[in-house]
Amino acid sequence: MKVVNVHQRLLHATPAQVGALIDSLASQADGLWPGKAWPRMKLDRPLAVGATGGHGPIRYFVQAYTPGQSIRFQFTAPRGLNGWHGFEVLDATQAHCVLEHRIEMNTEGPALLTWPLAIRHLHDACVEDALTQAQVSLGNTPKAVPWPLHVRLLRWLVSGGKALPQISTRSQHAG
């Protein structure tokens, strides 16, 4: 099954500021990945082509990286996710730009069921939280997307009843 999944957020920041968030991925100063509520993104070395890692059961390696602009990760697991995901700075002006997360892949085997029934919903919530984290990191007013009931249920089931709740952005950003 062909999958193209796109999430975008308008950010009130320069392209260089947003690009710096991409450059911070998987570092101690990561300002993009929502690692407080989701499995942290971890790589075996600093962000560069060939670095391998993932988040939770999703595994990948850095296929392409243009510092300050974009990153693309090639999936290696779970089995049946054949393609890539990545972040890119789009439609830049001096004061605004769009941060996009995109998946382009074909699913096969077990992923024909796991993607539409579970992974897609968890992915969508995690990416929306990443885009909200970008807003918080940049000092923008965050526009959090509440987790749907089925995402909260999936997180509870996967964690054995120990899933953390969605992080409130109200306490992270004043004004």
How far is Cα 42 from Cα 55, in angstroms, rounded to an integer? Answer: 6
d(CA 173, CA 175): 6
Q: Is 155 exposed, middle or buried (0-12, 13-18, 19+ CB in 10 A)?
A: buried
- Going residue by residue through the chain (175 aa), what tens digit of pLDDT does each one get? 999 999 999 999 999 999 999 999 999 999 999 999 999 999 999 999 999 999 999 999 999 999 999 999 999 999 999 999 999 999 888 899 999 999 999 999 999 999 999 999 999 999 999 999 999 999 999 999 999 999 999 999 988 888 878 876 654 443 3
> What CATH topology corresponds to 2-158?
Alpha-D-Glucose-1,6-Bisphosphate; Chain A, domain 4 (3.30.530)
Question: Residues 165, 171: contact at Cβ < 8 Å?
Answer: no
The domain locations on the chain are: 2-158
Burial class of 46 by CB neighbour count within 10 A (0 to 12, 13 to 18, 19+)? exposed
What does the pLDDT read at residue 169? Answer: 61
